[in-house]
Amino acid sequence: MSKPSVAELGISVGVKNLAFSRLKFPSIGVFLILMLPFSYFEVQGARPIVLGPVIFIYLVVMLKKYRVNVTMDMTLYLFFIFYVFALSFVSRSNISVSLVIFLVYSLWPVFLSKSELNEDLQFRLIKAYIFSALFCSIGVISQRFIFEFLGLEVGKIDRYGGGRIGFGFVWLDYSYLSLFLVSAVPLLYAIKLSSFWRYSGVLILVIGSLITTARTGIVAMIVILWAYSVYVFLSRLLVNKINIGSVSIVSGSVVIAIFGYFYLLEFSSRDFVASGSGRLEGYLKSLEFVSQNPYFGAMFAPDLYKLTTGVIPHNLFLYITSMGGVFVLLLFLAWLVLFGISALNNSPPIKVALLVVFFGLQFVPSVFSAYFIGGLVSISLFERLRKKYAEY
């Protein structure tokens, strides 16, 4: 038997690599979400978070996966992102890379085929999100332990006035980290777990969020938890289906809120008081800026905006408006309405997680560098596409 030629070997290897890529492509979403803990981590100036989107784009091109699942809300979302990209390109802003990464994180499921949109992969995505959040939370808890008992500073730590010490592990923004951790709490109810492991997961995530000393996450979780529990209670009251389960939801939310404020407060070095931390001043300055630049805002050039106002507004809508103008805000609102209507088809845990993040975004700056939001949006999109195809 003659030996295969170099060309034949090349073709054989190419076919095997293609088959391997086809086998692994649906799992790219799991890899993307598992990279979330390293959203701000740098190795010699390079961020590993870029690796996932690069591999994804490479596979899309190599496998020619150009057929996409088109949805109205995602089409409008694309238009919104591209418009933001155009503004940032004209202003020579440095957010272009963040926009591309955020876009891949939020829209990758549209490239999946009907067979790839299965329940097993959905559960793997949710588990990956929970695992990533738990990894960060355990990292923050360990960081605080090492700081308190060994006197060593490991990872991101900042000291503020009033005795506050922020713990961020490998994240740069404490508010985003606290919000990411609590956004995984509802997802613990989307998978099969024993009560012990579910409640342990909730405890670890909540403690980690508190240790960051950022109030955004814990406040968002408590508010949405209360609102959702009251909604469930009233909806069952209207149909005369009040039972021990509905009562326990309401009472449980109250207990968690009280427990979180008076007991878990011990894990934080910051007082949880109703202070805006200068946010109100930032809101007023952003409104003044928009009144002077209503059409294009700062063209998504944060540095240009800071030169004028000094601080980025800590609110989703004011950020969008001040950065891109009124037209961008209208685009965003149109997408948000369509997305909200579509998200009604999501399961309760995913809907609650989305609401927690949405509420928390009213108190943080920027959005496109918070890749965990894109990851959560992709999980929501994946489930909706899966249910859509399951109906056929």
What per-residue confidence (pLDDT) applies to 177? 96
Residues 242 and 233: their CA atoms lie apart, in Å, by 7
Instruction: Tell me the per-residue pLDDT of 116-148, one tens digit each, with 9 for 90 and over.
Output: 999 999 999 999 999 999 999 999 999 999 999
Q: In 3D, which of 227, 229, 221 has the Cα closest to residue 260?
A: 221
Instruction: Tell me the per-residue pLDDT of 195-225, one tens digit each, with 9 for 90 and over.
Output: 899 989 999 999 999 999 888 998 898 888 8
Average pLDDT over residues 82-109: 90
Residue 372: pLDDT over 90: yes
What per-residue confidence (pLDDT) applies to 23? 45
Instruction: Tell me the per-residue pLDDT of 277-314, one tens digit each, with 9 for 90 and over.
Output: 567 777 888 888 899 999 999 999 888 888 888 788 88
What per-residue confidence (pLDDT) applies to 3? 47
Residues 197 and 131: their CA atoms lie apart, in Å, by 13
Three state DSSP letters for 20-75: HHHHHHHHHHHHHHHCHHHCCCCECCECHHHHHHHHHHHHHHHHCCCCCCCCHHHH
Q: Indicate the average pLDDT of the chain.
A: 84
Encoded tokens for 86: 């155009």
Percent of the chain with pLDDT over 70: 83
**Residue 43 binned pLDDT confidence (cut-offs 50, 70, 90):** confident
Average pLDDT over residues 348-355: 94
Average pLDDT over residues 323-351: 94
Per DSSP, what are the bridge partners of residue 166?
A: 158
Instruction: Tell me the per-residue pLDDT of 216-270, one tens digit each, with 9 for 90 and over.
Output: 998 898 888 888 877 777 777 776 665 555 555 555 556 666 555 554 555 555 5
In terms of DSSP H, where are the helices of the chain? 6-24, 28-34, 51-63, 72-90, 96-107, 119-150, 174-183, 195-211, 216-238, 244-262, 279-292, 302-309, 316-324, 326-343, 348-360, 371-390
**Residue 390 binned pLDDT confidence (cut-offs 50, 70, 90):** confident
Instruction: Tell me the per-residue pLDDT of 137-181, one tens digit each, with 9 for 90 and over.
Output: 999 999 999 999 998 999 899 988 777 889 999 998 999 999 999
Residue, of 182 and 250, whose pLDDT is higher: 182
What per-residue confidence (pLDDT) applies to 268? 53
Instruction: Tell me the per-residue pLDDT of 45-83, one tens digit each, with 9 for 90 and over.
Output: 788 899 999 999 998 888 888 788 888 888 899 999 999
Which residues lie below 8 Å from residue 17, measured CB to CB, with a gap of 6+? none
Residue 384: pLDDT over 90: yes
What per-residue confidence (pLDDT) applies to 261? 56
